[in-house]
Amino acid sequence: MTAGAIAKPSRLYTLPFIAIFAATLAFFTSSGVFLPTTPRFTVGPLGGDDAAVGLVLGSFSVSSILLKPFAGRLADRRGRRLLLIAGSIAMVIASFGHLVALTIPLLIVMRLLLGAAEAMFFVAAMAAITDLAPEHRRGEAISLISIALYLGVAIGPVIGEVLQASVGFESAWIAAGILAVVAVALSWFAPETLPRESRAVAGGRVAWLHPRGIEPGLLVLCGAWGMGAYFAFLPLLGDELGLDGVSGYLAAFAIIVVGLRIVGARLPDRLGPGRLSGTALTFTATGLVIAGLAPSEVGLWAGTAVFAVGVAFTFPAIVALAVLGIPPEERGAVTGTTSLFIDVAFGLSPALLGLLAGVAGYPSTFLVSAAFAAVGAAWLLLGRGRGRGRAAVRLSA
């Protein structure tokens, strides 16, 4: 089953699709274990300060940003399965490596390796899913694989917090490593989705960024910029408002995103990815405006709900738009270029908006992020992106 690439089926829900979905769930559950535990480990056992936390967390984005375009090119030349396995193995090494990361520099090394693992695995999984999906269901496939990612980063933190609180940090690292081993096994038995005759030929000069991935990548940045602000400053705004925690808002956000991606998985194909992503960015901007102008318990509930509706459809629709008409031997490069802008947004948004928050308050970060989303929405619905959206509608009809 793993010797050669499989023929592209006429249906979506196949054993290869399920195998890659399961591997993605295991991989990002492993990754999710580190979300709540890494900051606490940095300031606790390692005695770091806030600056050290920022350095440790930011190092993940550095390696991911630098490697995603390279990983995309490699996936186009050597196949998706190699990158799925390599990324999972890197996750195993980084997870168990936390057991010996007893200084902040060593922890940064492990975070850099985690970023490299995510770059390889994510790009390969996205490219493999687009290989497997029939043309008229590609947006649905991207929506579904993103659900595996969201479920992983929702389940992983729970595992990490429970183990850290009851047993210790070492147990969380071991659990993450075991989950990564599961991802290796599932990736190993998954078939190659890119036939040899469809692979890109090595040699010649290639750009670090694929030109067709830059515009959709910038649109992804417009949407993800607000997510960086929301996750970074909502807890701090909640404390300032005297709220009894913000876990309810975060849970509602995740439930809405996952629920809408399940029930609306086929919307990118039915409405056209250009039109849907423009509408989604409009919801994103509106939700952030509500939260920014009405920083209260009610305002945050309303803003979170509207914001989550936008986030639910932004990334799947834009990635579907990015790979529209792209030959198989370039899909890895395009998805690698497009997706690295997520890391750029999550790396830059909290840092830059943090400076604004110190001067104008936390609600201002939501309003500025809303402007980013509004620019992306206008580009897709009113500007140059409108033509691509119409083309998408015609092709998906």
Q: Is 47 left (phi over 0), alpha (psi -120 to 50) or beta?
A: left
Tokens of 373: 């989303």
Within 8 A by CB and 6+ apart from 98, the residues are 34, 41, 107, 110, 169, 173, 176
Q: Which residues of the chain have pLDDT under 70?
A: 1-12, 50-51, 54, 135, 138, 195-208, 245, 247, 384-397
- Gap between the Cα atoms of 66 and 63, Å rounded: 5
Q: Which residues pair with 5 in a beta bridge?
A: 192
Please tell me whether residue 237 adopts helix, strand or coil conformation.
Answer: helix
pLDDT of residue 387: 45
- Gap between the Cα atoms of 270 and 274, Å rounded: 11
- Is residue 296 a contact partner of residue 243, using CB atoms and an 8 Å limit? no
Tokens of 248: 């309810």
pLDDT of residue 397: 31
pLDDT of residue 90: 96
pLDDT of residue 207: 59
pLDDT of residue 396: 35
pTM of the model: 0.73
Residue range 178-222, pLDDT digits in tens = 999 999 999 998 887 776 665 555 544 455 677 778 888 899 899
Residue range 352-365, pLDDT digits in tens = 887 788 788 889 98
Q: In sequence order, what DSSP letters do the residues of 161-215 get, joined into one string?
A: HHHHHHT-HHHHHHHHHHHHHHHHHHHHHSPB-S-GGGSPPP-S---SS-HHHHH
Amino acid in the structure at residue 259: G
Q: Which domains, from first to last, does the chain contain?
A: 15-192 (1.20.1250.20), 211-396 (1.20.1250.20)
- Is residue 343 a contact partner of residue 122, using CB atoms and an 8 Å limit? no
pLDDT of residue 101: 93
- Gap between the Cα atoms of 111 and 114, Å rounded: 5
